Amino acid sequence: MSITKICCIGAGYVGGPTMAVIAQKCPHIQVTVVDLNEERIAAWNDENVDNIPIYEPGLSDIVAEARGRNLFFSTNVEKAIDEAQIIFISVNTPTKTYGKGKGMAADLKYIELCARQIARIAKDNKIVVEKSTLPVRTAEAIKSILDNTGNGVQFQILSNPEFLAEGTAVTDLLNPDRILIGGDTSVEGQKAIQSLVDVYANWVPADKILTTNVWSSELSKLTANAFLAQRISSVNAMSELCEKTGADVNEVARAIGMDSRIGPKFLKASVGFGGSCFQKDILNLVYIAKSYGLNEVADYWEQVIIMNDHQKRRFSNKMVQTLYNTVADKKIAFLGWAFKKDTNDTRESAAIYIADDLINEQAQIAVYDPKVSSRKVLADLDYLETRTSEKNSANVTSFSDPYEACASAHAIAVLTEWDEFIAYDWQKIYDGMQKPAFVFDGRNILNRVALESIGFIYQGIGS
């Protein structure tokens, strides 16, 4: 099948950038991204392309090139579904907050709603692609809905998980390590796989396009995130031991990273991992393992999450202890709120939980992040439902200038590894702070020797 029209349901962190790159690389294909969130679609269509809702280096340029040519953002979901030959499902799959599997299982209600909508609207054969991160065998449920509530048309279900790292999503899309496509082993299933292979083949080398069965594809995404998160929790566990023994975790990580069997990636000790995927996917993996009675497997992977939560608590506890066991009414400046640099995504950011702990201790939090709004900062804290929104507003203030955020502060916590933090005039920051002036480097990005020569009391992770 020659593909000329693609629809993506969901204009978020995965759907938006992925479809923008497909549109740029496949000018012969009309790509329509649909979402019921009118504000989000309006932002994608903003005349000033710098105002698109997702910040990723290079993304605005790609959107500017393709938007209006063959890339469209719309709230007309039905029209896009009806016209498309391939429909990507890229909606949110949060961890369940209710019922069976609460706190671990993926909530698939949005996936099911998409499937039912596709089944209701489709009048001709469609290829439906799982782009959201889903538990293994979700395709089976989607196919059951489509086959039993549709209009007699034929659906082929493919799994095409994303392997994007926020902050480098555009690079990851343009030069992927691999494209994974899982589908049915039937003749029709293989034809559907080839149709999607042909789309990616417009810019991805053939040896980087891997095809599997659906179940292998679904599970590969969960496994990849689990392995990456495991490395972070492993080095963070060692960081605590380093602090007790006098070792330096950065030196340890460098030494073991030079082992070709291990490699250097994801061995950076920090305050802990965040983002939309790692915790959610590992908890999902734990739930799946438990549902099959694999309790030892579940316990193994759950420990990755336990270690990550411990690292966040350890960081906030260390701040309180160092600041003479009280932070009540003290101003603590947060440099960074996004879960990592080069993104405006704050989901599961360590900064949220560190702030929550310090507000419980009556601290005054001053936040600076170059890409995160004050409204988002407060919304993240309100989402925890730890206290009233009025209390959060009274204890947290966002600043558009980092020097203002740090002025008169007792301590600074570096919680996102934005490059600009390294280049600051730290002498100027020190001069404007309360003395003694503390820096808690939760990302180990600053020069300890330089800061201590100014007069800062510096504390990093694992050294």
Catalytic residue list:
277
For residue 175, say whether it is annotated as part of any ligand binding site.
no
Residue 15, both tokens = 């759907």
125 is in an annotated binding site: no
- 277 annotated as a binding-site residue: yes
94 annotated to a ligand binding site: yes
Query: Any known ligand binding at 270?
Result: yes
Q: Cα separation of 54 and 12, whole Å? A: 8
Rounded to whole angstroms, how far apart are CA atoms 34 and 18? 13
The tokens for 242 are 């380093």
Residue 367 to residue 337: CA distance in whole angstroms: 7
- Is 265 labelled as part of a ligand binding site? no
339 labelled binding-site residue? yes
The answer to whether 271 is a known ligand-binding residue is: yes
Tell me if 114 is assigned to a ligand binding site: no
The CA radius of gyration of the chain, in Å to the nearest whole number, is: 23
Tell whether 101 is in a known binding site. no
**Any binding-site annotation on 259?**
no
Q: Do the annotations mark residue 133 as ligand-binding?
A: yes
Question: Is 278 annotated in some ligand binding site?
Answer: yes
Is residue 440 annotated as involved in ligand binding?
A: no
Is 375 within any annotated ligand binding site? Answer: no
Is residue 95 a known part of a binding site? yes
Is 331 annotated as belonging to a binding site? no
225 annotated as a binding-site residue: yes
Residue 269 marked ligand-binding: yes
Q: Which residue has the tokens 């034809």?
A: 191
68 is in an annotated binding site: no
Residue numbering of the annotated binding site: 10-15, 35, 40, 91-95, 132-133, 162-166, 221-225, 261, 268-274, 277-280, 339-340, 347, 443
Residue numbering of the annotated binding site for NAD(+): 10-15, 35, 40, 91-95, 132-133, 166, 277-280, 347
Residue numbering of the annotated binding site for substrate: 162-166, 221-225, 261, 268-274, 339-340, 443
